[in-house]
Amino acid sequence: MLRVNTKFDRPDPDLVERLGAYSSATIHEAQGRLGALSSKIKPVSDTMSLCGPAFTVRCAPRDNIMLQVAIAHARPGDVVVVSAGEYAEAGSFGDVLANACVAKGLGGLITDTGVRDTRELRDLGFPVFSLGVSIKGTVKETVGPMAEPVLVGGEVIRPGDVVRGDADGVVVVRREDLADAVRLSQERVDAETAYIAAYRSGKSVIEVSDLAAVLAAKGLVIEE
């Protein structure tokens, strides 16, 4: 007998919503270049975007029985995060399960395996980030852990950590670091807005980024 947990602490919904205003790249940079999942995990459509607490589950390769269990027990707003051994040659999720997710109000899916029915997924608009696309079917045989830490895209993701995905990729923010990530992301946006204003005022990128001394120390000589 295998007992699985479905209960864990979720982050402040207001902070989750505020984090979702920032891009995955901004959040990654703001928290010290941490938390980026492998660039191999991509959205089915570059218009897809998600931000929510991770509901984690571990599946055997080419087996989606535990994914279906996770969908059944996840709460509205949760993002189902699937660790399945980085096996792209399996269509473990498609339009039927996506409709089940939409009916429950889930926030999205991130998986290190393959998905299928991508045209229907795009039409439905449910955010799906996957290692690849495959038409190959799956079995429903192997049970496994749920709502426990998983390794996906080179990052350990715990239940209740916040995942943010957009056209550029996915980043994870530890639940306890969420408030700091929001603050630091806004600081980065403010700094970048100032850089852009300086460029438009006529300053060069070397001036704005204060690179002259750095380049000189590295021995770079520019002849004009």
What values do phi and psi take at 94, rounded to 5?
-150, -155
Structure tokens at 144: 């496994």
pTM, two decimal places: 0.95
Give the burial class of 40: count Cβ atoms within 10 A of its Cβ; 0-12 exposed, 13-18 middle, 19 or more buried: middle
Give the 3-state secondary structure of residue 129: strand
Give the 3-state secondary structure of residue 59: coil
What values do phi and psi take at 78, rounded to 5?
-65, 145
Nearest by Cα to 97 from 60, 72, 131:
72
What's the confidence (pLDDT) of residue 61?
96
What values do phi and psi take at 40, rounded to 5?
-70, -20
What's the confidence (pLDDT) of residue 1?
79
Contact present, 146 and 70 (Cβ < 8 Å): yes
Q: What is the C-alpha separation between 93 and 9, in angstroms, rounded?
A: 26
Top CATH class of 13-175 equals alpha beta
What's the confidence (pLDDT) of residue 5?
86
pLDDT per residue rounded down to tens, the chain (224 residues) = 788 889 999 999 999 999 999 999 999 999 999 999 999 999 999 999 999 999 999 999 999 999 999 999 999 999 999 999 999 999 999 999 999 999 999 999 999 999 999 999 999 999 999 999 999 999 999 999 999 999 999 999 999 999 999 999 999 999 999 999 999 999 999 999 999 999 999 999 999 999 999 999 999 998 88
All structural domains of the chain with their residue ranges: 13-175
Chain-centroid distance of CA 118 in Å reads 18
